[in-house]
Amino acid sequence: MRGQMMGAAELAEQVLAGSRPHIARAITLVESSRSDHRVRAREMLRLLRPHAGNSVRVGISGVPGAGKSTFIDALGMKLIGQGHKVAVLAVDPSSTRTGGSILGDRTRMAKLAASDSAFVRPSPSAGHLGGVARATRESMIVVEAAGFDVVLVETVGVGQSEVAVSGMVDTFLLLTLSRAGDQLQGIKRGILEMADVITVNKADGDHEGEARVTARELRIAMKLITSDPNARRPPVLTSSSYTGMGLDEVWEAILEHRQYLEVGDGLAKRRAAQQLDWLWSLVNGEILDGVKRSARVKSVVPSIEAEITGGELSALEGAEEIVKAFVMDVGALWPGEAAVD
Ligand SMILES: Nc1nc2c(ncn2[C@@H]2O[C@H](COP(=O)(O)OP(=O)(O)OP(=O)(O)O)[C@@H](O)[C@H]2O)c(=O)[nH]1
Ligand SMILES: [Mg+2]
């Protein structure tokens, strides 16, 4: 494709000008793991980064069917009405998403998807969480540089992807339901601990009262979870995307949390700490990837594994052998890198 050959500088320029087809193309580029694409993506991101970082970054989590996409559609349209530009990204490495469910997301976010002030991008379908998280972080830089001042990241409530998303947003919003079977036990404690704002969603019709009761119970539960009496306790609200009830309050709570962060440089500190976590997760990923690609490692692994299961070699000795094989292969795994940087 000719378009694919567009240089990093030209692509960055078009993104900065807010061209939608180029934003889409830039995101496709950062989603690719092909090494020549990575080189171009890095160059483009270097040009975009000085223009990024100015959005309100919100992660939105909740069990499948909690109403995340519908909520994003309703909240997003409200924000657009106030003059914001809203980008929606997603982290869902569990699903090998087909065209069908991407379409599903788009129909759940039908109003946003049709708006010129919004940009909706489904989760990259590519497998492992590390790759999806990287693509989403880099997509965030793209949309911020393109002028979107609110970035909403939807993630499915299964644990690891929440950790990844909380590592890239300023505020983590948890949507929960009032009728979730065994109620509070159904929500993983770790996810509650990550939440900065909680809302009991689908609080409409017959379920509005129930939702308020659940919110009250959750407030008590949060007191127990946050043992430090001086620590900030996440507010627990109720909301409905159908009636619009509570949407303003949830957004206010998100902005309040942001203000809370901005006191004493908290936002800058949070983002800096996220960058450091990210640095080491990239280093880990890159090295592990190298270990898996290494021909020398591949050639020694079967015998090492056999010796360990046979009791002739300890895991410690085996690990040393693998690392040795890997180190000998480093020059072949990253050819010419030393000369470039
Ligand atoms: N009563 C009620 N139903 C809602 C509300 N929001 C969403 N729903 C319904 O709940 C179902 C799931 O909504 P989605 O927005 O797709 O939920 P989701 O959390 O994004 O789901 P996944 O992406 O599959 O995890 C749909 O049938 C919606 O119509 C709400 O505020 N009230
Ligand atoms: Mg959804």
Give the residue-averaged pLDDT of 7-18.
96
Task: Please indicate, yes or no, whether the overall pTM of this predicted structure exceeds 0.75.
Answer: yes
Q: Which of 124-128, 283-287, 295-299 has the highest mean pLDDT?
A: 295-299
pLDDT in tens, 296-324: 999 999 999 999 999 999 999 999 999 99
CATH number at residue 312: 1.10.287
Nearest alpha carbon to residue 116 among 138, 83, 141:
83
- DSSP β-bridge partners for residue 175: 199
Please classify residue 188 by burial: count the beta carbons closer than 10 Å to its beta carbon, then call 0-12 exposed, 13-18 middle and 19+ buried.
middle
Q: Which of 99-103, 118-122, 245-249 has the lowest mean pLDDT?
A: 99-103
- 128 and 81 in one domain? yes
Q: Which atom of ligand 1 is nearest to the CA of 64?
A: 25
Domain count, the chain: 3
Is pLDDT of 213 > 80? yes
Q: In the prediction, which pLDDT does 105 show?
A: 63
In terms of domains, do 251 and 318 share one? no
pLDDT at 75: 97
Q: Give the per-residue pLDDT at 157.
A: 61
- CA-nearest of 47, 56, 39 to 22 is 47
State residue 65's pLDDT score. Answer: 85
Give the lowest-confidence range in 6-20, 151-165, 264-278, 315-329. 151-165
142 and 217 assigned to the same domain: yes
Question: Is the same domain home to 19 and 70?
Answer: no
Domain assignment present for residue 271? The answer is no
72 C-alpha vs ligand 2 centroid, how far in Å?
A: 9
SS3 199: strand
Q: What are the distances in angstroms from CA 197 to CA 61, 79, 170, 251, 341? A: 11, 18, 11, 10, 43
Are the beta carbons of 55 and 146 closer than 8 angstroms?
Answer: no
Identify the DSSP state of 124. P
Query: CA-CA distance, 156 to 63, in Å (whole number)?
Result: 6
The three-state secondary structure class of 89 is: strand
User: Can you tell me which atom of ligand 1 is nearest the CA of 157?
Assistant: 25
Task: Report pLDDT for 124.
Answer: 74
pLDDT digit string (tens) for 225-269? 777 778 888 999 999 999 999 999 999 999 999 999 888 788 888
Percent of the chain with pLDDT over 90: 58
Is there a domain that residue 180 lies in? yes
- Return the higher-pLDDT residue of 66 and 76: 76
Domain contains 105: yes
Tell me what pLDDT residue 190 has.
78
For ligand 2, an ion, list residues with CB under 5 A: 68-69
Task: Write down the mean pLDDT value for the chain.
Answer: 87
* For range 43-47, the mean pLDDT: 97
Q: Are residues 57 and 45 in the same domain?
A: no
pLDDT of residue 339: 47
Same-domain check for residues 289 and 178:
no
Are 244 and 288 part of one and the same domain?
no
Verify whether ligand 1 is closer than 6 Å to residue 68 (CB atom): yes
Query: Quick one: 230 and 255 in the same domain?
Result: yes
33 found inside a domain: yes
| Cβ neighbours, 10 Å, residue 201 | 26
Where among 263, 286, 301 does a domain terminate? 263
Specify whether 245 is located in the same domain as 232: yes
Report which of 270, 235, 266, 265 is spatially closest to residue 251, judged by C-alpha positions.
235
**37 or 93, higher pLDDT:** 37
Whether residue 302 sits in one domain with residue 173: no
Domain assignment present for residue 235? The answer is yes
Residue 338 lies in a domain: no
Please report the pLDDT score of residue 103 as a whole number.
Answer: 47
Which bin fits 246, alpha (ψ -120 to 50), beta or left (φ > 0)?
left
Burial label for 189, CB within 10 Å (0-12, 13-18, 19+), is: exposed
What range defines the domain where residue 44 resides? Answer: 1-51
The strand pairing partners of 155, in sequence order, are: 61, 91
Among 184-188, 311-315, 333-337, the minimum mean pLDDT is found in: 184-188
pLDDT at 5: 65
CATH classification of the domain holding 227: 3.40.50.300
Which residue owns the Cα nearest ligand 1 atom 2?
202
pLDDT band at 152 (very low <50, low <70, confident <90, very high): very high
C-alpha 319 – ligand 1 centre gap (Å):
47
Q: What is the CATH number of the domain that holds 33?
A: 1.20.5.170
Ligand nearest to the CA of 177: 1
Same domain, 198 and 153: yes
Per-range mean pLDDT, top range of 126-140, 215-229, 245-259: 245-259
DSSP H or E stretch at residue 279: helix 266-293
The length of the chain is 341
**Pocket of ligand 1 contains residue 65 by CB under 6 Å:** yes
In this structure, the answer to whether residues 138 and 232 fall within a common structural domain is: yes
Confidence grade of residue 99 (pLDDT, cut at 50, 70, 90): very low
In a domain, 341, yes or no: no
Q: What integer pLDDT is reported at residue 140 of this predicted model?
A: 96
* 339 within a domain of the structure (yes/no): no
